[in-house]
Structure 1
């Protein structure tokens, strides 16, 4: 897939020598894990599948005797320099089992919307979203999701970014392909300030 080739080529150019050395220890997901992901998420974007076939996660992911922790993603929001890890296929499946409740934000929402109107007010329901990335702060501050159950203002497959303090759920791209293209077009700015 050309998009993934472009992404990986740009990523490898943007990473430091040490980060690239660490990333080179990674390998793709097993056929069994990909089959499980496809079975549980039939609408999973092909670009994410292709990325996982190349790199099955970078979030404290063990490959043989090596454990890697390399941020390779960003939020996709222009000017945002905060890097994110890619979760492994198994981490995605495990972390997407629970409901992500947003009702506490809707109750107190005023002029500034803490929940994007493109997001279903029922929240992120099990089987209806895929948590694929955590920020470099071990996921506590920000996470990324693919949303398969949007409101009537959104589109299935849209990318949601959760940010903590103040808590906010925002749609940052209409698809995973658009999200990756935003990272490429942004010149991997989110890797510039990361300390390896």
Structure 2
């Protein structure tokens, strides 16, 4: 396992325990399963540039968003963003594959800069035909407020593999990290602030 991923998961577990949610973590760890090799291969075929750190996370747990393990459906906060104290779920391999066109379906007008009032980071491309985003996370509001993507089609100002965050009301698309690993390190450095005792 990637050292950053190992550090991230260990720190997340400690954060759950420190926020009096050790029981929730233990239940999660008891029933969760990692992604199957065949599903990892499917994602690699669709997204050849997928970061190994995301593969490692999916190998640890194949999604935490309405995901069934051992006959039990879970919704478990596993990620965060620059929207402080706001938790996100990890999508499963199946959900990532199913949502491979979601950015084009939902955000095409934003990508093509049709609305001046919507803030779009200039590191994000304005060429819809070449858009290639991997949707890996939805916020606690079922993705209605925020979603996270890995961007494999940045503008000349951006970086391949950068992490893009959509936020609703007011709508905006912003790059929050240059890479998925930088994104994980940001969550570590901000002390997993999306895990708060009052969530449990």
TM-score normalised per structure 2: 0.89
Query: Structure 2 matches for 1:37-186, cutoff 5 A?
Result: 37-75=43-81, 77=82, 80-98=84-102, 99=104, 100-104=106-110, 106-109=113-116, 114-123=119-128, 128-186=132-190
**Distance in 2 between the 1:178 and 1:124 partners?**
27
C-alpha deviation, 1:64, in angstroms: 2.1
Give ranges in structure 2 of 5+ residues lacking alignment.
none
Higher helix share: 2
Residue 29 of structure 1 contacts residue 54 of structure 1 at CA under 8 Å; is this kept in 2? Answer: yes
**Distance in 2 between the 1:12 and 1:71 partners?**
11
Instruction: Name the structure 2 match of 1:10.
Output: 11
Structure 1 stretches of 4+ with a deviation exceeding 6 A read none
Instruction: Name the structure 2 match of 1:33.
Output: 39
Distance 1:54 1:177, change over 3 A: same
Instruction: Name the structure 2 match of 1:22.
Output: 27
C-alpha deviation, 1:55, in angstroms: 0.7
TM-score normalised per structure 1: 0.91
RMSD: 1.8
**Distance in 1 between the 2:98 and 2:69 partners?**
18
3-state DSSP class of the match of 1:171? strand
Residue 61 of structure 1 contacts residue 67 of structure 1 at CA under 8 Å; is this kept in 2? Answer: yes
Residue 133 of structure 2 contacts residue 152 of structure 2 at CA under 8 Å; is this kept in 1? Answer: yes
**Distance in 2 between the 1:145 and 1:125 partners?**
15
Instruction: Name the structure 2 match of 1:187.
Output: 191
Residue 63 of structure 2 contacts residue 89 of structure 2 at CA under 8 Å; is this kept in 1? Answer: yes
**Distance in 1 between the 2:193 and 2:152 partners?**
28
Distance 1:183 1:194, change over 3 A: farther
C-alpha deviation, 1:102, in angstroms: 4.1
Give ranges in structure 1 of 5+ residues lacking alignment.
none
